[in-house]
Chain A
């Protein structure tokens, strides 16, 4: 390759300065999708499927939103009102959710539990994954398998023995009941994800750092973790989402209203016998899914790249 050509590409790749793993040299943009170039084809092969996909994905959100904004009268009367539109928007349901239930508290609890459980799990998972992947000890593979098997035990079985433990430690109906039990499924999950990620980082980097005078801990903090940030982010998002939506443990280990999380609170307090407060339920679900959606949108790029690539060189 001519020098200036290489120079130009090098400068182009400067945009991906840190952990972008796009390699403009080996794969020019769009090289593999040339057959999609002509416009009519593009409509059929790209835009129409995309629209259908978007519709299917977004319709539930739309439905939640309009249900939130409808009055009960409008909600139950399909004769006079269109089910797909809001004639007379009202904020009553939201008002009820925020001021007549402990919803703000539930949100706070969910946030607290998810963040702390995710952080705890990530710390443990990083250590576990590093040890299994990089420290040559007997039974490393076995430990890896065992952790994976632990992940396969369904929570619907595990909650019974866990309930006993939670109760005996006096954690019942406290945030700790959830903060300490969520890692039982988060750590195996994150460990596996991170093991795969660590494996993709060349061993020589660590050996080089070892010769450069770094300790194991310094290698982890200064070399491995910075290179694993996309992996950490995706593990973090996954863990956060799993905790945020968790239902069984939250239902079992929490009884008082002010300690509940959003998924449990909404279901237990907005459904009274056979009376469903649809408007407030949907408002609760909508507000509850917003933080996760925002989180995803912030990190989507890293998240995708960590799923598709690994550290090169």
Chain B
């Protein structure tokens, strides 16, 4: 096991720079998830850690050792690929034993380790099968097994669950998490799915267009997003954004939207009168107003899910989603009165997108 240091790392393909200076330090035994929209450079960063891509600038270290020029096989890492990359002409057993055989381990040792990994992953009955004879979930497990037997310093995962169906994905998510708790090997996990990130990570790195937007624990990102991108990316359904200006009158601070609706904010907000801002509130932080003081909203669609109710409404000239724990039978077109929870709303600078 080892820590991983990524220091001002850059990557260019030809003349196009796709990673613009990334700093992440991952401590020993941590499960870090790189998350971001497709094409933001997550895979490229992971492949640089693995040694499959050359590093254009900066430094990557595993443990104490700077690995910029170390070939993949000497980095002591294991990687699980999105399409599993199982060797089709080898049995499950041989797939798992391949790296050990190349390392010239003793055959008794190889057998012991493969058995052990197969047991952990519930693959004991499938050791003699070929990959094409396995279901998607089983293949996924074999790919994990291949990583486990090597007992590497670092596990790297590149969207390992995105080829599975939704149900299996949730199950494997838990299994991977449990596996990490058992093995406590430093892991770097790439995904575009923020729920995967939230549920699995010790720490999340949110990436966007080749830069790191924010690093933090799942709840830190949820409670204190650094900017609009992170706020919009983390959480489901996504945060609502309403454009407006800061209005201070009679000692009270409010955000006033373009059409004059007054939205409540914490009185501690540090912003000049008239400053252009974006008002952000999560659907789960909007409540029905009892009595006066609510914000009027016109219902367009109601989605009852059983567990909770989603209401899509038009409020302050914006499409807003609200989530209620109770069941409501609003009619489309009906006007209701909503109250954002003042202590949980966020205000972002309209220019920079930073949270104020």
User: Which A positions have Cβ atoms within 8 angstroms of B?
Assistant: 6, 10-11, 13-14, 16-19, 202, 204-205, 207-214, 218, 222-223, 226-227, 311-313
Contact = CB atoms under 8 A, between A and B. Distances in A.
Interface string B70-103: 0111010111010111111100000000110011
Contacts of A14: 129-130, 133
Interface of B: 50-52, 71-73, 75, 77-79, 81, 83-89, 98-99, 102-103, 129-135, 139, 146, 150
A218 B131 contact: no
B97 to A, nearest CB: 10
B118 to A, nearest CB: 17
A202 B85 contact: yes
Contact of A226 (B73, B89, B98, B130): B89
Contacts of A222: 98
Nearest to A7: B135
Given A202-B83, A227-B89, 7 more contacts: A19-B88, A204-B85, A205-B87, A207-B79, A211-B79, A214-B73, A227-B88
A223 B77 CA distance: 20
Contacts of B102: 212-214, 218
Q: Main SS of chain A's interface residues? A: helix
Contact of B98 (A10, A11, A212): A212
Nearest to A201: B88
B314 to A, nearest CB: 43
B148 to A, nearest CB: 13
B60 to A, nearest CB: 15
Contact of A10 (B83, B103, B133, B150): B133
Contacts of A213: 73, 99, 102-103
A63 to B, nearest CB: 44
In the A-B complex, the 10 residue pairs with the closest CB atoms? A212-B99, A204-B85, A213-B73, A208-B85, A213-B102, A226-B89, A211-B72, A204-B81, A10-B133, A210-B72
A261 B351 CA distance: 83
Contact of B88 (A6, A207, A313): A313
A311 B88 contact: yes
Contacts of B87: 205, 208-209, 223
Q: Main SS of chain B's interface residues? A: loop
B130 A17 contact: yes
A211 B83 contact: no
A198 to B, nearest CB: 14
Contacts of B73: 210-214
A226 B129 CA distance: 17
A246 B83 CA distance: 45
A208 B293 CA distance: 61
A229 to B, nearest CB: 9
Nearest to A218: B102
Given A212-B99, A214-B73, A6 B135 contact: yes
Nearest to B79: A211
Nearest to A229: B89
Contacts of A207: 50, 52, 72, 79, 81, 85
Contacts of B50: 207, 211
A210 B99 CA distance: 9
B317 to A, nearest CB: 48
B160 to A, nearest CB: 12
Nearest to A10: B133
A209 B98 contact: yes
Q: Which residue, B75, B99, B146, has most C-beta atoms of chain A within 10 A?
A: B99
Contacts of B78: 211
A207 B102 CA distance: 15
A210 B133 CA distance: 25
A223 B87 CA distance: 7
A16 B81 CA distance: 25
A214 B90 CA distance: 15
A233 B89 CA distance: 16
A16 B131 CA distance: 12
Contacts of A202: 83, 85
Contacts of B71: 210
B53 to A, nearest CB: 10
B89 A19 contact: yes
A214 B98 CA distance: 9
A257 B225 CA distance: 88
Contacts of A226: 89
Contacts of B83: 202, 204, 313
9 contacts: A14-B129, A14-B130, A19-B89, A205-B87, A210-B71, A212-B99, A213-B102, A223-B87, A311-B88
A208 B102 CA distance: 13
Nearest to B86: A313
Contacts of B150: 212
Contacts of A13: 132-133
Contacts of B103: 213
B90 to A, nearest CB: 8
A202 B133 CA distance: 18
A204 B72 CA distance: 13
A14 B91 CA distance: 12
B89 A10 contact: no
B81 A208 contact: yes
Contacts of A311: 88
A218 B98 CA distance: 11
Contacts of B129: 14
A266 B71 CA distance: 58
Nearest to A20: B132
B291 to A, nearest CB: 54
Nearest to A1: B135
Contacts of B84: 313
